[in-house]
Amino acid sequence: MISKLIKKFYNEDVEDFCTRLLYFFNTIDSFFIFAGV
């Protein structure tokens, strides 16, 4: 199952994956900022 996930991510565009990752972390940062306020 893990190898299937790795292959799935490997077949994805690296740029697209990085964009999703950055968006994900930006969402977490925004959440903590709002939670802090």
Query: What integer pLDDT is reported at residue 11 of this predicted model?
Result: 63
Query: What integer pLDDT is reported at residue 30 of this predicted model?
Result: 84
Residues of the chain with pLDDT under 50: none
Dihedral of the CA atoms 7, 13, 19, 22 (nearest 10)?
Answer: 30
Q: How many domains does the chain have?
A: 1
Query: What integer pLDDT is reported at residue 10 of this predicted model?
Result: 67
Query: What integer pLDDT is reported at residue 12 of this predicted model?
Result: 65
Q: What is the DSSP letter of 37?
A: -
Structural domain including 24 reads: 1-35
Query: What integer pLDDT is reported at residue 36 of this predicted model?
Result: 79
Query: What integer pLDDT is reported at residue 9 of this predicted model?
Result: 67
